[in-house]
Amino acid sequence: MLEKIIHSSLTHRIFVIICAVALAIYGLYSAHEADIDIFPDLNAPTVVVMTECGAMNTEDVEALVSYPIESSLSGASGIRRIRSTSTDGLSIVWAEFDWDTDVLVARQTISEKLPELTSNLPAEVGQPVMAPQSSIMGEIFIVGLQADSTSLMDLRTSADFELRPRLMSISGVAGVTVIGGDVKEYQIVLDELKMQHYGISIAEVTEAIDGINQNVNGGLITRHGTEYAVRCVCATRDTSVLGTAYVAKRGNYSVTLADIAEIRVAPSFPRIGRASIKGNDAVLLTITKQPGASTLDRTEEIEKTLEISKLSLPADVRVQTNIFRSSDFIDRAIDNVKSSLYEGIFFVAIVLILFLANIRTTAISLITLPISVLTSILVLKLMNLGINTMSLGGIAIAIGSLVDDAIVDVENVWRRMNVPNADANKKSIISVIEEASSEVRVPILNSTLIIIASFLPLFFLSGMEGKMLIPLGIAFIVALASSTVVALTLTPVLCSYLLRPNADGGQKNSKESWLSQRLKEGYAKLLDLALASKRIILTLSGIALVAAIIAMFTFGSNFLPPFNEGSLTINISTLPGTSLDVSNEIGLEAEKMLMEVPEVITVSRKTGRAEKDEHALGTNVSEIEVPYRLSERSKDEMIEDVRHRLSHIRGANVEIGQPISHRIDAMLSGSQSAIAVKIFGAELPKLEQIAGYVKEEMQKVDGIADVNSEQMTFRPQMKITPRREMLAEYGITQKEL
């Protein structure tokens, strides 16, 4: 079989060359057009159900909303884990399915449960909705808006009704959450004295204002053969027009809304989130992409959309795009892997020249190397596998093995052509090449299969480990398979065009290179010495083996090595119940400290949460994004400086991480830390006591930093317990109260 492939390739040499050139061109095109991301999609099939709960407190949200939703979802097929977060006014439930579940099937399963969920919830809560389909790597861009004279309310309005719809229209964008600024609201402030004067109750006002600012459609009427659409245009932005709305009749006088209330446009209250950039109020838009969408392509589209949107924004509005861009890390990561590939090819070329000592044989080996790499990328695209650090890493690992086939083949052909007193000159060059290639092909194929077999255990990994490492194994195996095909077809053809036997019958150039001869001489001496000292060699080998085994068990282990993402994610939390304004002041203090760090480019902060944001934070938590550029100090030195500065903030827990690592940790442990210890029990004071002890013990471990226990103390509450008999005496219902 192999001999037939080699023979056919040498018989149709022009066709093989054309195919190789076509593969190279198409491979370059595929590499340019392929989806590029940081890692493979590591997210388990997950569906997020969010429910806005109005003014409901955390305890009621957990008991009346989160728990019923969890109970309803737990019976769905394929679910392996359900977890939830309950905070004031918001319930978030994550339903994680088995790794082999199609995410569209998972969403369909949950969507069928939504009607059942609604029937089990209190009437005053909103409709449970599924969050957009995204992933832990979904956050790709944060846009900041600031202005000099434009108010925060107008800035937020521009973000909500101009920027967000345009960004959502981009293909591949899953969602855009907006935080910061002031949400515009039409407020009716009732005057109690005027209401008493006219004898107007709250119930009458509530009934009167229902639908006063909505257009009404009246269907169609026909007049003289023409149909007319009937519309009652009631919507207005003029508060004075709203004030003329009828409330009640008192004698001959019609009481209007303006008679008993002040109508104004003002910021919504209470706020649930604040945002800032470099210590100044701002509006932040966080953009997430759909799984499988190219981060680089989406980033390019976002930037184009922002440039167009600037034309419709007020002149003093500044759009900042350097807060967080995952494409920056992708570019750096891919460039690093590409550099490794280029350096590997360069050193392979140097080694080939030194050992083969022949420009033509070296050229053949080096020509086959990029052809194999480009063919691998083409095959990966056909398999719907994007380019990421793992797939490129698999190709980089295979670089040394990719040239093995070509080197052995070319070296054997060259040797056979120049064997003295052989019948090489009596046979045609093609016949010599065919025989030389065939005689080494089976051993090389066997060694290739053995190497491939060593990577097969990767395909038995499950969960996130499998999602991460299987693409590396696929890329490595595809690269080796590509090099084998190239060695069977292209290498013999190149040999037929570039190699010729020496005129002296091989007496001169058939000799090995100077370096090969010296290495052989040195190895012969070393081998003689080893054979003369068998016991010593065996003893030293045994000691080395035992030492290696002992050392193996003392090494630390990580799921991923630490890497420089070019940005920090810092969480600052205080006691539950801390107001948004106090948390905002603490966040501003932290921003000022961070801006004093020389490497920091800018600082942006979110305190609290955005509406319908699955990454919900309490009003006591601030999340700060800190992009940086290293100069004289290392990353560890810079982080230690940041940690020292922030340690001066009293009463706050500080956690320092990186954006992507932060999200991977949340996926692995359900917490925003690399290591999470979970303590279960019914008594909160006892849990706090145990957590404090665990924290003290963990702080004693070398290499651990930012040890914090989640603040689970009771939030301060003002509880009102009505006296039902008094309510009955005054004719007041609990709902009215």
pLDDT in tens, 510-531: 556 778 888 888 999 999 988 8
Contact 215, 177 (CB under 8 A): no
The listed range with the strongest mean pLDDT (179-193, 610-624, 693-707) is: 179-193
Distance CA 410, CA 407 (A): 5
State residue 506's pLDDT score. 47
Distance CA 534, CA 120 (A): 80
Q: What is the pLDDT of residues 387-410, one digit of tens each?
A: 887 888 888 888 777 777 778 888
Buried residues in 43-62 as b, exposed as e (16+ CB within 10 A): bbbbbbbbbbbeebebebbb
Kindly state the average pLDDT of the residues 178-194: 90
State residue 516's pLDDT score. 80
DSSP 125-171: S---EEPPS--TT-EEEEEEEE-SSS-HHHHHHHIIIIIHHHHHTST
State residue 507's pLDDT score. 45
> At which residue do the structure tokens 């940086």 appear?
628
Looking at the predicted structure, is the pLDDT value of residue 497 above 60? Answer: yes
Contact 273, 180 (CB under 8 A): yes
Contact 83, 670 (CB under 8 A): yes
Q: How far is the CA of 413 from the CAs of 76, 300, 489, 679, in angstroms? A: 64, 50, 14, 68
Kindly state the average pLDDT of the residues 330-356: 76
Looking at the predicted structure, is the pLDDT value of residue 422 above 50? Answer: no
Kindly state the average pLDDT of the residues 3-30: 88
Distance CA 566, CA 559 (A): 20
Kindly state the average pLDDT of the residues 445-460: 87
Confidence at 434, pLDDT banded by 50, 70, 90: confident
Q: Residue 62 gets which letter from DSSP? A: I
Which distant-in-sequence residues (6+ apart) come within 8 Å of 464 by Cβ? 42, 44, 559, 667, 668
- The tokens for 475 are 């890329």
State residue 538's pLDDT score. 92
**Gyration radius of the chain over CA positions:** 35
Look at the alpha carbons of 415, 419, 423, 425 in this order and tell me if their dihedral is positive or negative: positive
Residue that wins the pLDDT comparison between 499 and 177:
177
State residue 509's pLDDT score. 47
Contact 181, 267 (CB under 8 A): no
Looking at the predicted structure, is the pLDDT value of residue 178 above 70? Answer: yes
Distance CA 617, CA 608 (A): 5
Confidence at 577, pLDDT banded by 50, 70, 90: confident
In this structure, which amino acid lies at residue 29? Y
State residue 585's pLDDT score. 92
Output the CA angle 414-415-421, nearest 5 degrees: 120
Confidence at 667, pLDDT banded by 50, 70, 90: low
Distance CA 284, CA 139 (A): 13
* Bond before 270 cis per omega within 30 degrees: yes
SS (H, E, C) 280-339: EECEEEEEEECCCCCHHHHHHHHHHHHHHHHHHCCCCCEEEEEEEEHHHHHHHHHHHHHH
Q: What is the pLDDT of residues 229-272, one digit of tens each?
A: 888 888 888 888 888 888 888 888 899 999 999 999 988 888 88
Q: How far is the CA of 51 from the CAs of 59, 338, 547, in angstroms? A: 15, 45, 58
Looking at the predicted structure, is the pLDDT value of residue 103 above 70? Answer: yes
Confidence at 333, pLDDT banded by 50, 70, 90: confident
Please list the alpha-helical segments (H only) found in 596-721.
635-646, 659-669, 684-699
For 103, half-sphere exposure in the C-beta direction (CA atoms, 13 angstrom radius) is 17
Torsion angle, CA of 362/363/364/365, rounded to 10 degrees? 50
Kindly state the average pLDDT of the residues 421-432: 63
Kindly state the average pLDDT of the residues 698-722: 71
Confidence at 702, pLDDT banded by 50, 70, 90: confident
Residue that wins the pLDDT comparison between 89 and 621:
621
State residue 715's pLDDT score. 61
Distance CA 631, CA 642 (A): 15
Q: If you average pLDDT over every residue of the chain, what do you get?
A: 83
State residue 136's pLDDT score. 60
Q: How far is the CA of 227 from the CAs of 215, 216, 217, in angstroms? A: 20, 18, 14
Kindly state the average pLDDT of the residues 323-339: 80
Q: What residue ranges define each of the domains in the chain, with the CATH number in brackets? A: 185-267 (3.30.2090.10), 331-554 (1.20.1640.10), 567-699 (3.30.70.1430)
Neighbours of 146 (CB within 10 A): 22
Confidence at 56, pLDDT banded by 50, 70, 90: confident
State residue 6's pLDDT score. 84
Kindly state the average pLDDT of the residues 187-214: 88
Nearest to 359 by CA among 246, 261, 467, 498: 498
- The tokens for 426 are 């009596």
